[in-house]
Amino acid sequence: MSQRARIIHGTAVSPGLAVGPVHVARTQAQRVTTWSVREEDVAREVERLGQAIQTAIDEMVRRQRLVAAQASEKDAEIFAVHRMVLQDPGALKQVESVIRDQRVNAEAGVQALIQRLQASLGKLEGDSVRAYAADIADPWRVVLDTLLAVERAEFLSSESRIVLAASELTPEAVTYLERGRLLAVIAETGGRFSHAAVLARAFGIPCVVGLPGLIGRLERGMPIAVDGDHGTVQLAPSPADVRAFELRAESRAARQESLRVQANLPAESTDGRRLGVLVNLESLRDLDMFRADHTDGLGLVRTEFLYMERPQFPSEDEQFRLYRRVVERMTGLPVTLRTLDIGGDKQLSYFKTPRETNPALGWRGIRISLEWQDLLRVQLRAALRAGTGHDLRLLLPMVASVEDVTLAKSILEGVRQALAEQGYDQVSEVPLGMMIEVPSVLFTLPEMLKHVDFVSVGTNDLVQYLLAVDRDNPWVAKLYEPQHPAVMTALELVARTCRQAGKPSSVCGDLASDPALAVLLFGMGFDSVSVAPNFVPGIKYAVRKIAHAEAREMALEAVAAQDCAGVKRVVARCRERIA
């Protein structure tokens, strides 16, 4: 393969450069990942297969004894049959030849056998014959489970740092390993604004997607150079390539560092106007990733991610402690807690929302909170208690109508009263804001602003609803275009309407994390942006380089653009201006 062919171009999802050995992950339970193995590693795969078969046989013996003791010898006989299935030399030969001939992992070999058994099962006639054939595949499933479990356990207990390759960018892929071990994530498919992408950026993990056929070209352990700035992936770079890549990474890190040392300065334009730069928080661990006094506070605490880090709903007291840690860490700066925003692809393992044909248009965000009001009440109680003596603000996700806000407000009022009657300390004032994510809000904004104290635009969702493009659907990922004239028009409308009403406006969607776009938002009249911690220094630097009047001129040009290309030209100019 030529050197050129080994550089694949995809879509940049999360910036940064990383080089390291690749590990192909199985991040979807229903899929068995296939990866190529080097000639010299084939024997190791055959050995893994043999060990897994032996473990499965031992498991059959254990099950046979158990059933014989608890039921009867006759009932337990099936496991003796299963053992014989696994000892059939013909089946073993078939799996081994897949491993050797195709040079693939043991899991893929076993999966091929299971598929063959299932296919032959379809051709059989009669229920009892079919049931027998199904039994033949079953013991091999135990072998497959064993291989997968052993491989994952071994991998988790090692300390290797890897580039993770997955067929799809999912939240599981981004959280597959602790962050220090995950050098980068690359995936065949995935959306740039999916929740998984948001997580990758928040965690500072370089990420590239849109790489069809990637997995088939990887050999386990092969070095990979990932350029999350430009969206390229280099397979098996030469030592000279690796060195050149490392040099680029070092100079990039030096640039980042020079921005970081100026991060204490405010984002004040050359003509003296300020943009608030706040932080989006996904996890308590992120509290240690930035200096609170280099920011203007937390503009978005995605509380659902705090809920995801535990095995069941946190109690009121547990939530109180979580939120208290957050407000205390921010020492008097604003902390904007968003009420639980689950549903769609943000699922809690212990609270399954129903399967929906259209989850993005379904039961999610405030819709769940207003129906399961006790969940909301517990969260509000904990938040109000934790906010005592601090600048706590509450933010409602996925608001679509005035009624959503008025109902939430009446619940909040009830909770405040109950806390007071029960003698709890609580925050003295709590501004209530709403997210602008649903387009209906754009057309009713002056009325809605009478009911809230501030707004924050969630562009990740607003773009998906404005353009009718599912942010999590890889098939339409190319159509998800934040730099669209309709998006610019909507944003400017929000900023202008809020100014007229005297209500602060912010953008907390990922669009704001691009310094050039943050400058345009500043020009439109937004008071603040809220972004993952690692984007704060770059945005502050960009705002300090420009006059508000110039930012405004460019913003209005972006709004007046005829098409996406027109918006992109303005953004490119802005990028050059702040470079």
Task: Find the distance separating the first CA and the last CA of the chain, reported in whole Å.
Answer: 37
CA dist 38 and 331 (Å) reads 54
Total residues contacting ligand PEP by CB under 6 A comes to: 11
Name which of 19, 20, 14 is nearest 228 in CA terms.
Answer: 14
Closest CB to Mg ion among residues 190, 458: 458
Closest CB to ligand PEP among residues 17, 196: 196
Q: Considering only 10-18, 62-70, 84-92, 454-462, which stretch makes contact with ligand PEP by CB under 6 A?
A: 454-462
Among 20, 387, 458, 537, indicate the residue that binds Mg ion (CB under 5 A): 458
Looking only at the bridges linking them, the beta strands covering 335-338 and 162-168 are unpaired
Closest CB to ligand PEP among residues 302, 390: 302
- Environment class of residue 191 by beta-carbon count within 10 Å: exposed (0-12), middle (13-18) or buried (19+)? buried
Q: Give the nearest distance from C-beta 364 to ligand PEP in angstroms.
A: 9
CA dist 198 and 460 (Å) reads 9
Q: Give the nearest distance from C-beta 460 to ligand PEP in angstroms.
A: 3
Binds 162: which of ligand PEP, Mg ion, none (CB < 5-8 Å by kind):
none
Closest CB to ligand PEP among residues 163, 455: 455
CA dist 519 and 268 (Å) reads 11
Binds 514: which of ligand PEP, Mg ion, none (CB < 5-8 Å by kind):
none
CA dist 392 and 329 (Å) reads 13
Q: What is the DSSP letter of 104?
A: B
> How many Å is the Cα radius of gyration of the chain?
27
- Residues in contact with Mg ion, shown as a per-residue x/- string from 420 to 439 under the rule CB under 5 A: -----------------x--
Among 459, 497, 505, 528, indicate the residue that binds ligand PEP (CB under 6 A): 459
Considering only residues 22 to 51 of the shown chain, the ones binding ligand PEP according to CB under 6 A are none
Contacts of 367 (CB under 8 A, 6+ apart): 343, 398
Considering only residues 470 to 529 of the shown chain, the ones binding ligand PEP according to CB under 6 A are 508-509
- How far is residue 260 from each of residues 78, 296, 391, measured CA to CA in Å? 65, 15, 26
Looking only at the bridges linking them, the beta strands covering 232-235 and 223-227 are antiparallel
- How far is residue 81 from each of residues 86, 111, 113, measured CA to CA in Å? 9, 20, 18
User: Is there binding between residue 191 and ligand PEP (CB under 6 A)?
Assistant: no
Closest CB to Mg ion among residues 186, 462: 462
Sign of torsion over alpha carbons 170, 171, 172, 173: positive
Helix (H, G, I), strand (E, B) or coil at 168: strand
Q: Give the nearest distance from C-beta 458 to ligand PEP in angstroms.
A: 3
CA dist 78 and 67 (Å) reads 10
Closest CB to ligand PEP among residues 102, 489: 489
CA dist 45 and 42 (Å) reads 5
Q: Considering only 149-157, 213-221, 233-241, 458-466, which stretch makes contact with ligand PEP by CB under 6 A?
A: 458-466
User: Is there binding between residue 461 and ligand PEP (CB under 6 A)?
Assistant: yes
Considering only residues 282 to 311 of the shown chain, the ones binding ligand PEP according to CB under 6 A are 300, 302
User: Is there binding between residue 458 and ligand PEP (CB under 6 A)?
Assistant: yes
Is 195 an annotated catalytic residue? yes
Q: What is the distance, to the nearest Å, from the Cα of residue 543 to the centroid of all Cα atoms in its chain?
A: 28
Closest CB to Mg ion among residues 206, 482: 482
Give the active site residue among 207, 498, 508, 574: 508
Name which of 73, 293, 30, 41 is nearest 168 in CA terms.
Answer: 30
Q: Give the nearest distance from C-beta 565 to ligand PEP in angstroms.
A: 24
Tokens of 250: 């070092």
Q: Give the nearest distance from C-beta 461 to Mg ion in angstroms.
A: 4
CA dist 76 and 96 (Å) reads 30
Amino acid found at 541: Y
Q: Give the nearest distance from C-beta 474 to Mg ion in angstroms.
A: 19
Binds 302: which of Mg ion, ligand PEP, none (CB < 5-8 Å by kind):
ligand PEP
Q: Give the nearest distance from C-beta 471 to Mg ion in angstroms.
A: 9
Among 188, 296, 461, 510, indicate the residue that binds Mg ion (CB under 5 A): 461
> 423's torsion region: left (phi>0), alpha (psi -120 to 50) or beta?
left
Q: Give the nearest distance from C-beta 521 to ligand PEP in angstroms.
A: 13
Binds 508: which of ligand PEP, Mg ion, none (CB < 5-8 Å by kind):
ligand PEP
Give the active site residue among 23, 195, 390, 548: 195
Considering only residues 220 to 259 of the shown chain, the ones binding Mg ion according to CB under 5 A are none
Among 11, 460, 513, 534, indicate the residue that binds ligand PEP (CB under 6 A): 460
Tokens of 165: 């390759």
User: Is there binding between residue 359 and ligand PEP (CB under 6 A)?
Assistant: no
Closest CB to ligand PEP among residues 95, 445: 445
User: Is there binding between residue 299 and Mg ion (CB under 5 A)?
Assistant: no
Closest CB to ligand PEP among residues 227, 404: 404
CA dist 197 and 190 (Å) reads 8
- How far is residue 468 from each of residues 168, 192, 293, 400, 472, measured CA to CA in Å? 21, 15, 39, 16, 12
CA dist 252 and 250 (Å) reads 5
Residues contributing to the site for Mg ion (CB under 5 A): 437, 458, 461
Hey, which residues are catalytic here?
Answer: 195, 508
Residues contributing to the site for ligand PEP (CB under 6 A): 198, 300, 302, 341, 437, 458-461, 508-509
